[in-house]
Structure 1
Amino acid sequence: MKLILAAFLLGATPAMADWAETLAEARGQTVYWNAWGGDPRTNAFIEWVSARTEAEFGVSVQQVKLSDTAEAVARVRAEKAAGQIEGGAVDLVWINGPNFMAMKDEALLHGPFVAGLPNAAGVDLSEGAAATLDFTVPVEGMEAPWRLAKFVFAHDSARAPEPPRSMAGFVDWAKAHPGRMTHPNPANFMGATFLKQALVELAPDRAALAAPATDAAFGAQTAPLWQWYDALRPHLWREGAAYPENESVQAQLLNDGEVDIAMFFDPAAPAALIAQGVLPETVRVFVPDAGTIGNISFVAIPFDAAHRAGAEVVANFLLSPEAQAQMQNIEVLGSYSVLDPARLDDAAKAAFAALPTAPALPRLEDLGATLPEPHPSWMTRLTEEWAKRYTP
């Protein structure tokens, strides 16, 4: 086997030779993928990934289910503080925004590695493209994209056929339908995203949100947000005195008929939940006319990962048309692909075209414009300020 590999490497391009070495090193490894464990569909997809990478590359995946990505960051940080430079417990981590920025700033990441992944050729990595930025922070090859995310609302079209068409319009809608909407607690990512979505629409200077939030900028740009929220809060579910813990709890409120609107960071989630019997068949997705916040989910490899080669193999497989089509299947996960459709060959295009659909599954054109995420510092300060203002 070694002679065959050596002969192959002699005739390979440098990039192909490097990848062949990575595949050889990765065989037999178990990759410990630290990923949020709160979504059964995502957990099942990761199990499928493990079965496929083990069958094809001899690399298995063990999901370490997190309640907060910061847990993995803290683990890697502690290992570095202890002087550990290899054999780390975290091989791969699903990461975004402030956590990525912290790991990048503290030199906790392996890489850059994305340019060396063969399947990265299917992604638009040109300067300024969505896959090159994470909440405005340049990725610089330190994390690989794997799924698209876009903030959407869902309404029960039988009970609330005319949802608001703007964030500002939520105030009038809530006044006309008292107690029929709420949002997750901003301590949860979904609740924080609701506030960010309103901030992006209401800020006097949206461009200022791309820079770190200074005291002066934060005060100026959030003033209309707090004025809006003060008008909205009394008309929320339970008069704004309590909030669902997360999007799953809010979805249950929608199903139970306690509220008429919910929110998700996965446009396919309502259709999937309808199929599971968790939401009524009359639920449909809507977005404000100006569009909604969107981003790409990434995976990164810590600097001291014990199985770096295996982690790169998994990151590369996640970018394959096979994995991306499986992920986009509404019956599996329903997350939109990060691949550039113009870069797909005919077989891949046919695979995506054959994916099942559903009445509540929005078309890409139904989702409106994708608005850029603010700099990560804005979310941190938003949640702190909300807690200060509205927590007893």
Structure 2
Amino acid sequence: MITRRTALRLVALAGAAGLTSPLQARARDIAADWPGILERAKGQTVYFNAWAGDERTNAFIAWAGEELKRAHGVIINHVRLRDTAEAVTRVVAEKQAGRDKDGSVDLIWINGPNFLAMKQQGLLYGPFAEALPNWRYVDTTKKRSNIVDFTVPVEGLAAPWRLAQVVYLYDSARTRRESLPISVPAMLGWAKANPGRLTHPTIGNFLGSTFLKQALYELAPNPEILDRAADDASFAMVTAPLWAWYDELRPNLWRQGREFPETGPAQRQLLVDGEIDFYISFNPAEAATGIANRQLPDSARVFVLERGTIGNSSFVAIPYNAAHAEAAMVAADFLLAPATQARAQDPRQMGNFTVLDLDKLSAEQQALFARPDGMPALPTNAELGIVLPEPHPSWMTRITAEWEKRYVR
């Protein structure tokens, strides 16, 4: 069976050999027509459907709207969502009603199952992402999540704009970085030497299942199998080392692994209270923002594992029937601009790490991503190391069910 990585290499080779698909031709047409797209976008209003559960992100979208209006005459109307599925459902309903143009959704903040659903149902405009002028800065090598979303090839149907990656937080005033584990096997040895000083959120919380997914990456005999859907045979074989590891780890966890914090903030409080020595997060800027918000001590820091940690990208996509596709593309391109990405990464703004490859930037542009003065808790892009792709979603579903079967009494 051809793996996802092999398939992506074949696609790249085909492109290098001059084999052009209709989708590639469409992307080339968009790139060639970019001046016309900018002109037609003037005066258009982009109905940007985006989750509104974080006020700093809402403020960032508002700032982006002001900049787009000033620079390109594009107006951003933030349609605030509680769940991305609301926008997906709206586009599905319009398709069923035969509304194949002048749709009510122009741009969606999306990834994971929602992106897969829209791609499978032919509800996405494009491919457009690789045609954007700022695409040339995107990291498609070390940050594969920019082109593969939860094992689903994006194929230009969405543009990345922010990155989440697993890190571990600790208090440097109490714990030396050199004493902490740098691999999953070493984590077991550390826990045995420091019983009760490590935990993870309950497996029903995505951080709890991510704790196990991260371990599975290092313990699986062949991590590439995680690119494919898990079946009964592969799941049992591939996860056997994980459960052997966890069986030894669990008695050495906080409260002997009989209780778990319900959420990320709950485990953060355990660190603050001195009950544990480090915990998992999906936000590389969490230490810096936690210090700024007085939720963590000034000595809070983050670290990653030497073989890399799981990450995923958030995307913006354009529905197939968007009324203002030109302006939506201009907005997507603006979100990829180095100056925009640098502002997004600043913990004083949004605190989300960049999807760009800093080696592709000029020295002046790279300087925008320098760690702000007075924020030693913010890791540099280099310190975050390798971004591992998310396994196929079926692994998380099965891991959660298996964990509950094994350990919930």
Task: With the length of structure 1 as denominator, give the TM-score of the two structures.
Answer: 0.84
Q: Is 1:262 aligned to residue 270 of structure 2?
A: no
Residue identity matched to 1:46 = I
Q: What is the RMSD computed on CA atoms of the aligned residues?
A: 3.1
Note closer, same or farther for the CA distance 1:381–1:51 as it changes in structure 2 (3 Å cut). farther
Note closer, same or farther for the CA distance 1:358–1:74 as it changes in structure 2 (3 Å cut). same
In the TM superposition, 1:1-392 aligns within 5 A as 18-124=33-139, 131-161=146-176, 162-353=179-370, 355-356=372-373, 358-391=375-408
Shift of 1:142: 0.5
Residue identity matched to 1:140 = E
Q: Deviations over 1:294-338 (max 9, x none)?
A: 333322122233432332121110011220121122322333322
Residue identity matched to 1:116 = A
CA distance in 2, matches of 1:262, 1:66: 30
CA distance in 1, matches of 2:139, 2:300: 33
Shift of 1:289: 2.7
Q: Deviations over 1:4-31 (max 9, x none)?
A: xxxxxxxxx9757733333344333433
Tell me the matched-pair count: 380
Q: Deviations over 1:168-222 (max 9, x none)?
A: 3333434444443332334433333222101101112212112222221122111
Q: Is the 8 A contact 2:91 2:103 kept in 1?
A: yes
CA distance in 1, matches of 2:57, 2:81: 12
Note closer, same or farther for the CA distance 1:43–1:182 as it changes in structure 2 (3 Å cut). farther
Note closer, same or farther for the CA distance 1:21–1:362 as it changes in structure 2 (3 Å cut). same
CA distance in 1, matches of 2:240, 2:290: 36
Q: Is the 8 A contact 2:166 2:283 kept in 1?
A: yes
Note closer, same or farther for the CA distance 1:364–1:239 as it changes in structure 2 (3 Å cut). same
Q: Is the 8 A contact 1:88 1:306 kept in 2?
A: yes
Note closer, same or farther for the CA distance 1:74–1:191 as it changes in structure 2 (3 Å cut). farther
Residue identity matched to 1:246 = T
Note closer, same or farther for the CA distance 1:351–1:241 as it changes in structure 2 (3 Å cut). same
Q: Deviations over 1:53-97 (max 9, x none)?
A: 122223333444445444443443344344443444433222223
CA distance in 2, matches of 1:89, 1:391: 45
Note closer, same or farther for the CA distance 1:76–1:202 as it changes in structure 2 (3 Å cut). farther
Residue identity matched to 1:44 = A
Q: Is the 8 A contact 1:330 1:356 kept in 2?
A: no
Note closer, same or farther for the CA distance 1:292–1:115 as it changes in structure 2 (3 Å cut). closer
CA distance in 1, matches of 2:271, 2:237: 35
Note closer, same or farther for the CA distance 1:200–1:323 as it changes in structure 2 (3 Å cut). same
- What SS does the aligned partner of 1:338 have? coil
Q: Is the 8 A contact 1:34 1:94 kept in 2?
A: yes
Shift of 1:151: 1.0
CA distance in 1, matches of 2:142, 2:188: 39
CA distance in 1, matches of 2:368, 2:73: 25
In percent, how many aligned pairs have the same letter? 54
CA distance in 2, matches of 1:246, 1:98: 22
Which one is further off, 72-81 or 222-231?
Answer: 72-81
Note closer, same or farther for the CA distance 1:348–1:164 as it changes in structure 2 (3 Å cut). closer
Note closer, same or farther for the CA distance 1:163–1:215 as it changes in structure 2 (3 Å cut). same
Note closer, same or farther for the CA distance 1:216–1:239 as it changes in structure 2 (3 Å cut). same
Q: Which residue of the partner structure matches residue 10 of structure 1?
A: none
- What SS does the aligned partner of 2:301 have? strand
Note closer, same or farther for the CA distance 1:253–1:69 as it changes in structure 2 (3 Å cut). farther
* Structure 1 residues without counterparts, runs of 5 or longer: 1-12
Residue identity matched to 2:74 = V
Shift of 1:128: 9.8
- What SS does the aligned partner of 1:294 have? strand
* Structure 2 residues without counterparts, runs of 5 or longer: 1-27
Note closer, same or farther for the CA distance 1:168–1:27 as it changes in structure 2 (3 Å cut). same
- What SS does the aligned partner of 1:168 have? helix
Q: Is the 8 A contact 1:182 1:259 kept in 2?
A: yes
Note closer, same or farther for the CA distance 1:58–1:387 as it changes in structure 2 (3 Å cut). farther
Note closer, same or farther for the CA distance 1:247–1:30 as it changes in structure 2 (3 Å cut). farther
